[in-house]
Structure 1
Amino acid sequence: MSVLIFDSNGELWHTRAEELGLDYISMPYYVGGKEYFYDLGKETDFKGFYEKVRAGEIPKTQALNPEDYKRILTPYFERGEDVLYVSFSHAMSGTFQSLELALRELKEQFPDRKCTVFNTNSISLGAGIQAEQAALLKQKGASDEEILDFLKEYTDHVAVYFVVDDLMHLKRGGRCSGVAAVAGTLLGLKPMLTFNETGGLSVIGKLNGRKKAISTLANKIVEELTDENIPVYIVDADCKEDGDKLRDLVLEKRPNAKIVRQIVGPVIGAHCGPGTLGVIFTAAKRPIPLKKD
């Protein structure tokens, strides 16, 4: 049985990862010209990060290089351990090209070892919830093949919806045209986004105003949640009050939902910006994006 790992773009809280026996790869981000690695909240200064962004600092992220992956994976292989890596969406980063290069080189050094990569086609807790469920299966004694079979089916039932507060953050990340970003900001439009079947970012709706965004996200959970035994994650990028309002709206109609509140980490926050709200839960199927973004 392989060692199960994920990456910090999956955003499970560090205590939950430790509880599940999940190792993780820390992903880098830069703010104020300084490099940091997200540690799932262990020592992260969330307040300081978002204060800097609100003050005009532009954070950046960077893909790991092949040497980074070799450094991370070599200790497992040296111990004679295989790895099952539940990763964030390959469509969202070039880092997986580096991983492929690293694995080819490591295969020459460790021909009997392997690293199996499962692409969740999601990010943040859309990826983390899949790693979490995989770890729970492993605790019950499931084999690698059984875990992979489960993930291949479960990934199509992970619903992710999120709303950004400022479209200009998406523009800087290449996810929204400049004209659309300015027009949307002036009109007060809040795009509701999701991850499509190939792990890319897609628009699923456009909402008029913050209040409408909160109520719509709450209704998505109320109407689409199919398994109350699996946690519902409500995440916010430094807008805790709005996230709590969203949670309360859900609990009014789905009092048995197991809601977990969490802050968005700096790597994801660098792209979506402060004020982002998101929900992640188990549904009958993945959201279907609009035909035109």
Structure 2
Amino acid sequence: MPTHAPAVRVVTDSTACLPDGAADAGGPVVVPLRVLAGDRAWREGVDITPEEVAARIGAGERLTTSQPPGEDFAAVFRDLAADGARAVVAVHLSGVLSGTVEVAARAGQRAMLPVRAVDSRTVAMALGFAATEAARCAAAGHDAGQVAERAAQVAASSETVFLVESLDHLRRGGRLSGPAAALGTALGVRPILAVRDGGIELAQRVRTRRAATDRLVELAVRRAEGCESPGVAVHHLGAPERAAEVAARLAERTGATPVVTPVSAVLGAHAGPGALAVAVVDLGGHTHDQPW
């Protein structure tokens, strides 16, 4: 495997919820989205943490979010070109949920090197796994088309399901329809949500938090059983003990070692405190021949 920086570099965004150190040594370059409150803006992962988001929401502050400005992508593309990159594959959260991938694509049209923008149609570590697998593909010497194909393949294999304490944040942010939010909160049920076709849908309803957590685990195990090589991640906002419990159960049931990270600050602003999510992807099935 080449020891120098790969000719193709991978860029993603901060909603990938990558663990610390994932962007080192040729891993994906992360462009931060923004968390907004009034006239204030913070770059997630730089100026504000998920814990701070949870605290602000808990104090009654109304937060919104924004995609990165085009200049942020332009600057990253310039830096990568200066570092010797010959092409970039930009893998981003679902275009149904954010305009980030469109901003990256427009910036790529003006860049000094070819940029392929990939709409993962997912989010969190389902996106993170797609970006890191794409970076591994690039590090192995594959071309931009193969790297983009690998990102799309992993993202398409994903299943992301999650629980929230309240659907109000998703409804106010326009990520869940009013009727779906009303249905999800009817009769005191606990809604299980899923990322499907790039958007957020109400998947199931159960009666208690414990039953919802159990169902979350069962859905993840079922998906992992259909994977050649499952990649599993658990996310939370202000619920580390519940996340650790779910991760331990998934490790025992799937044989995979789950990645456990807080949900990103931007996702946390929409999901709200107490959110718990599981993402499963298939890391197998990489069919590209080695280029050497």
Give TM class, smaller chain.
0.7 to 0.9
Question: Which residue in the other structure is 2:260 paired with?
Answer: 261
Which of 6, 9, 13 matches 2:15? 9
Aligned pairs (5 A) from 1:185-224: 185=185, 187-197=187-197, 199-224=198-223
- For each residue in 1:175-204, what CA deviation from the matched residue of structure 2 results, as whole angstroms up to 9, or x when unmatched? 34456546644633232222223x122222
Contact 2:176 2:201 in 1 (8 A): no
1:61 aligns with 2:65: yes
Moved over 6 A (4+): none
For residue 67 of structure 1, report the CA deviation from its aligned partner: 3.5
TM-score w.r.t. the length of structure 2 is 0.83
Contact 1:230 1:258 in 2 (8 A): no
Question: Which residue in the other structure is 2:114 paired with?
Answer: 114
Question: Which residue in the other structure is 1:239 paired with?
Answer: 239
Partner SS, residue 68 of structure 2:
coil
Letter of the structure 2 residue corresponding to residue 154 of structure 1:
V
Q: Distance in 1 between matches of 2:250 and 2:57?
A: 30
1:278 aligns with 2:272: no
Letter of the structure 2 residue corresponding to residue 57 of structure 1:
E
Partner SS, residue 159 of structure 2:
strand
- For each residue in 1:21-46, what CA deviation from the matched residue of structure 2 results, as whole angstroms up to 9, or x when unmatched? 3211111112475321123xx77543
Change (3 A) 1:69 1:141: closer
- For each residue in 1:135-186, what CA deviation from the matched residue of structure 2 results, as whole angstroms up to 9, or x when unmatched? 2222333332322333333332111111221011111112344565466446
RMSD: 2.6
- For each residue in 1:204-239, what CA deviation from the matched residue of structure 2 results, as whole angstroms up to 9, or x when unmatched? 222222111100111112222044754310111111
Change (3 A) 1:91 1:210: same
Letter of the structure 1 residue corresponding to residue 199 of structure 2:
G
Q: Distance in 2 between matches of 1:16 and 1:59?
A: 27
Task: Point out where structure 2 has 5 or more consecutive residues left out of the alignment.
Answer: 1-6, 284-292
For residue 78 of structure 1, report the CA deviation from its aligned partner: 5.0
1:92 aligns with 2:97: yes
Partner SS, residue 90 of structure 1:
coil
Contact 2:101 2:119 in 1 (8 A): no
Q: Distance in 1 between matches of 2:194 and 2:184?
A: 18
Letter of the structure 1 residue corresponding to residue 74 of structure 2:
K
Question: Which residue in the other structure is 1:74 paired with?
Answer: 78
Change (3 A) 1:30 1:70: same
Question: Which residue in the other structure is 1:135 paired with?
Answer: 135
Change (3 A) 1:79 1:172: same
**Aligned residue pair count:** 275
Question: Which residue in the other structure is 1:145 paired with?
Answer: 145
- For each residue in 1:19-77, what CA deviation from the matched residue of structure 2 results, as whole angstroms up to 9, or x when unmatched? 553211111112475321123xx775433321111121111111233334333323334
Change (3 A) 1:206 1:70: same
Question: Which residue in the other structure is 1:172 paired with?
Answer: 172
Contact 2:234 2:247 in 1 (8 A): yes
Partner SS, residue 165 of structure 2:
coil
Letter of the structure 2 residue corresponding to residue 69 of structure 1:
F
Partner SS, residue 12 of structure 1:
coil
Q: Report % sequence identity.
A: 24
Q: Distance in 2 between matches of 1:79 and 1:249?
A: 43
Change (3 A) 1:96 1:283: closer
Q: Distance in 2 between matches of 1:178 and 1:235?
A: 25
Q: Distance in 1 between matches of 2:83 and 2:249?
A: 49
Change (3 A) 1:14 1:38: farther
Question: Which residue in the other structure is 2:43 paired with?
Answer: 37
Change (3 A) 1:146 1:210: same
Q: Distance in 2 between matches of 1:253 and 1:114?
A: 43
Q: Distance in 2 between matches of 1:22 and 1:175?
A: 26
Q: Distance in 1 between matches of 2:14 and 2:121?
A: 15
